[in-house]
Structure 1
Amino acid sequence: MPNWNEVIAEIHQTRQLHPDHNPLDLVRRKYLKQVSEITGRNTIAYYSGWLQKPTARDTAVNDKDKSGLMLTIHRLDKSKGLDLILHTPGGDIAATESLVDYLYSMFGKNIRVIVPQISMSAGTMIALSSSEIIMGKHSNLGPIDPQMGGLACQAVINEFKQAKEDIRKNPHAAALWQVIISKYHPTFLGACQQAIEWSEKMVSKWLEENMCADDTSIVENILKTFADHKKQKSHARHISKRECEEIGLKIGSLEDNQDLQDAVLTTHHAFMHTFSHTASVKIIENHNGVAYVENSVPQPPQPQ
């Protein structure tokens, strides 16, 4: 398997051999095609450049991504199913629900998710909608507890509960809690509760109807692992392949197929190099080289 530096060397060599073409595209698509040839399935890479461009817009899952999926799914043989290579920080819950519903309408439940490095938050929700998640020893998923304005919804609810209990025990604490709770607008608590119920109901349904259809009794424990803020402590926590296996998720190991592992990880390196050396912040691309690309928009200079 070409390592990180060897992929860079191949990109430079490709530039010399094909000066009229973008070498990043040629190398990336070469290995993405290999993934599909090895599995015999449709392959779409759904990649965000948030690691390279943490302040850029449109790196998160959003409604514009539907256009990318529509473009890359068009003309594919749907009977071959889909392997979705996923690398994302997550994003909007409503967009996530819509994207999964669309994928189901195209491929039924014949969808696998491959996680070369990390798929967090709403990305984890997409992974949990699949029939199987293929991970390496280095791969991670993340908690799915909803966030609002950078705040964990469950943490907000817990804070309100603590305030009520403290004030009940010591009415003089009300003044202190007033300062803390006043940072939330009047409907914020209800919105947090609804977001939690929405996300858990959505993921529970996907698990029961697809990955866990043969044993729905494990769904509750899976949700507890991924959705319980008290258990995970932080929305940024990285959940390992081993822990995913222990709670009953259907996890395939990249290490079980050396050819597939080589193709997937080299594809991953090629995407990372693309984000590092171009203005791209999101790429949705299929094994035939059809791609939807979002580029970062330069920000106007700010007054000093």
Structure 2
Amino acid sequence: MIMRGKELIKQIQEIRSSKVIAYITGDRQPIGSIIAEDAVRPLYDHLLSTGKKGKIDLLLYSRGGDVSVPWRIVSMFREFCDEFSILVPYKAHSAATLISLGADKVIMGKKAELSPIDPTLRRMAAGEITGPPQEISVEDVNSYISFVRERANINDQSALAQMTAILANNLAPLTLGSVNRQNSHIRLVARKLLTSRKEKLDEAKINSIIETLTEKIYSHGHAIGRKEAQEIGLPIEMPEEPVETTLWNLYLKYEEFLKFDEPLDPLVALIGKEEEHLEKIPIALIESENKMHIFTTRIDFKRKRQVPANPQINLNLGLNLPPNIKPEEIPQQVQQIIQQMINQIAQNAQRLVQQEIIRQSPEVGVDIRVYGGKWEVM
């Protein structure tokens, strides 16, 4: 059953004299979703349906995503309104915080959180070809260099070269190149977003906001509440009743529908079976007064077992005839049919034995495959 927030959206619109579009990316484990380019097109459909308005509010819930997307979203929304605001009932982290930088107003509820905007990259160690990549914060690399120079007080050029070599030995050259590029890109995007607001900021204020959100908050996981966001210099508003309650109730509807608090446990899904296939799992949504898009995906769980390499399976299926029947007396055609039956039985028996060997092999984990995601109009 599709859970719609239409009535609550209407209530917020009426109180705020605006049009509301909700963009929610789920964080249900292990199939959470992120802010991504594929959402731009359905968001545009909602804007076309809404039309040009004086005020448009974008309700956001997200743990982050692609940092190249916020500018696309903000610049697109500004084509359809004179005043662009962000509604934050709970989490608007990383890329969602970037989107907030481009808003004229950020309406944050009591539980609302923004976060630092320092991006993370997929890390591949130098010399690695296989193995899952790890995430590394761009600011972690910058902090290492600052630590070497300032805290460790290493200024000798040869010593600095040695410390840099240690870093290069632990990160592939392409990763280091990406760090430098992302470091510049995130500041460029933040600046473009801040300067897109109706209320123009002076250069010192822009630099202060960017430095605080990229460098001065040392943990990427730090939650920035609305009072701290105000101190940073963001245009924060604290909603009064009934907007506060209505906004939270709308979030709760989305939380329930996307099952944030119900992780998909592979071991539970695989009770009594070797593999499980789930269809059309909703992991993100976009909703406005008259339209709803849901992003659904497929997921496969399969037990991973340590199966012996190339196990030898020898099956000898003999056919014992009754004493009064001689093989040479059996018609040739019947002999061929019997031989075909024996071959078929042997093949099936070998397959069953292989399946049993796999089933009894020690389990070493679970393979998870998520695929086939797409936006659908509901």
TM-score (norm 1): 0.80
Matches within 5 A, 1:100-179: 100-107=74-81, 110-149=83-122, 150-160=135-145, 166=154, 168=156, 171=159, 174=162, 178=165
Matches within 5 A, 1:253-268: 253-254=238-239, 256=240, 258-268=241-251
2: distance between equivalents of 1:146 and 1:220?
18
Matched, 1:271 2:254: yes
2: distance between equivalents of 1:163 and 1:216?
30
The 8 Å contact of residues 115 and 223 in structure 2, kept in 1 or not, is answered as: yes
2: distance between equivalents of 1:114 and 1:234?
24
Q: CA deviation at 1:64?
A: 0.7
Residue 80 (structure 1) aligns with: 54
Q: Which amino acid aligns with 2:257?
A: T
Q: CA deviation at 1:44?
A: 0.4
Inter-CA distance 286–163: structure 2 relative to 1 (3 Å threshold): same
Inter-CA distance 302–179: structure 2 relative to 1 (3 Å threshold): farther
Which sections of structure 1, spanning at least 5 residues, go unmatched? 1-21
Residue 20 (structure 2) aligns with: 43
Q: CA deviation at 1:178?
A: 4.8
User: Whose radius of gyration is greater, 1 or 2?
Assistant: 2
Inter-CA distance 275–72: structure 2 relative to 1 (3 Å threshold): same
Residue 304 (structure 2) aligns with: 303
Residue 218 (structure 2) aligns with: 233
Residue 3 (structure 1) aligns with: none
Residue 24 (structure 1) aligns with: 3
Structure with higher helix content: 1
Matched, 1:54 2:54: no
Residue 5 (structure 1) aligns with: none
Higher relative CO (CA 8 A, sep ≥ 6), structure 1 or 2?
1
Q: What SS is found at the alignment partner of 2:220?
A: coil
The 8 Å contact of residues 145 and 153 in structure 1, kept in 2 or not, is answered as: yes
Inter-CA distance 240–270: structure 2 relative to 1 (3 Å threshold): same
Q: What SS is found at the alignment partner of 1:297?
A: strand
Q: Which amino acid aligns with 2:52?
A: K
2: distance between equivalents of 1:117 and 1:162?
34
Q: CA deviation at 1:181?
A: 3.2
1: distance between equivalents of 2:178 and 2:160?
29
Which sections of structure 2, spanning at least 5 residues, go unmatched? 123-134, 263-279, 306-378
Q: CA deviation at 1:259?
A: 1.5
Residue 294 (structure 1) aligns with: 295
The 8 Å contact of residues 113 and 134 in structure 1, kept in 2 or not, is answered as: yes
Q: CA deviation at 1:121?
A: 0.4
Q: Which amino acid aligns with 1:264?
A: L
Q: CA deviation at 1:155?
A: 1.4
Residue 91 (structure 1) aligns with: 65
1:157-216: CA deviation from partner (whole Å, max 9, x where unpaired): 332565687594785994x87555312111322321221211112211221231651555
> Which shows bigger deviation, 270-279 or 232-241?
270-279
Q: Which amino acid aligns with 2:289?
A: H
Q: CA deviation at 1:73?
A: 1.5
Structure with higher strand content: 2
The alignment of Structure 1 onto Structure 2 pairs a total of residues equal to: 271
Q: CA deviation at 1:66?
A: 0.9
Q: What SS is found at the alignment partner of 1:145?
A: coil
TM-score (norm 2): 0.65
Q: Which amino acid aligns with 2:294?
A: V
1: distance between equivalents of 2:85 and 2:78?
12
Q: CA deviation at 1:110?
A: 1.8
Inter-CA distance 212–181: structure 2 relative to 1 (3 Å threshold): farther
1: distance between equivalents of 2:22 and 2:160?
56
Matched, 1:207 2:194: yes
